[in-house]
Amino acid sequence: MAPVKISHVVSFSSQDPKYPVENLLREDSLHPWLSCPQDRSRQLRVELQLEKASPIGYVDVGNCGCAFLQIEVGRSSWPLERPYLTLVPCVALMTPADSKLEQNRCSVRMFKEADFSALAVGQKWDRLRLTCSQPFSRHSQFGLSFLRIRTPLDLPQHSPSLQQGPVACQLSTPMGPMISGTDDLSASRSSREEEQLKSRLQQLEPGPWSPSCLSRPARMVLSAARSRALRP
C-alpha cells in the first residue's frame, strides 16, 4: 500500500492558532489540529486536497478528544453543489462518559475497505472531508492528532498478535488537562515508555526489529504513543 499525500487544506471550520489545521499535513511529527477555544459549535470540519486522484484503501486517524467522526470523499472537478459520498459513516471515537470525564481522549482508529461505503470503494478521489464533533463536553478542545491515507494496491503486513482495523488503540495513561509544553522529566519518561513499547512490539513481530518492517497495527500503536507524548 502506497501513502496518499495531502496537498493542501481547501477549507476548515475552526482551529486554535497554536494548533492549526495544517498540522494534519505534517508527516515528520505529531501535532494536533484543535478547535478554537472560543468555538461553541462543538463541530469541526476540514476539506483536504490530495496530491492526485487515488483509490483509498486505508485511513488511519489519531483522535484527540472527538466523540464522533465521519469521512466523505469527492473530486475537485465536481460542482460546488454536488454532495460528497460517504467513505466512513459516522463512528463513535469516545463514549459519552469518557467525553464528560475527559478520559481516553487519545486513540487510533484504523479503517480499511471493508469498513467503507460500497459506492466509494474502487474509485479514485482527490478530495477528503472529515467532520468531527464533541457534543458531550462543552468546554474542552477537541480535534485530530494525525491523518494517514494509503492506497489498496499492496496487501498489508499481518501480525498474529495484532488485530487489523478498525482498531481503537487506547493508551495506557489517561489524557489529563492540556498543557502547552513538556519538561525534561516528562520527555525522559516518554522516551522510556516508548522504548518499552518498542520492546514489547518487537516480541510480537516476526523477524528482526525494524520500524520500516512493522505491521500496520504496530506502526499505529507507536504513532498513538508518540501522539500521547506530544499532546498539547
Model pLDDT for residues 202-222, shown as the tens digit of each residue: 656 555 545 455 566 666 666
Residue 224's identity, in one-letter code, is A
Place of cell 485511513: 59
Please give the grid coordinates belonging to residue 13. 471550520
Query: How confident is residue 23, by pLDDT bands cut at 50, 70 and 90?
Result: very high
CA torsion 122-75-81-143 (nearest 10°) is 90
In sequence order, the 6+-apart residues with CB closer than 8 A to the CB of 123 are: 55
Amino acid 204: pLDDT: 62
- For the ranges 44-53, 98-107, 132-141, 146-155, the lowest mean pLDDT is seen at 146-155
The full set of domains in the chain, from first to last, is: 6-229 (2.60.120.260)
The pLDDT > 90 percentage for the chain reads 61
The pLDDT > 70 percentage for the chain reads 65
Query: What is the rounded distance in angstroms from the CA atom of residue 4 to the CA atom of residue 34?
Result: 23
Looking at 178-215, list the stretches that DSSP marks H as alpha helix, in order from N- to C-terminal side. Answer: 184-204
Q: How many other CB atoms sit within 10 Å of the CB of residue 215?
A: 20
Amino acid 117: pLDDT: 95
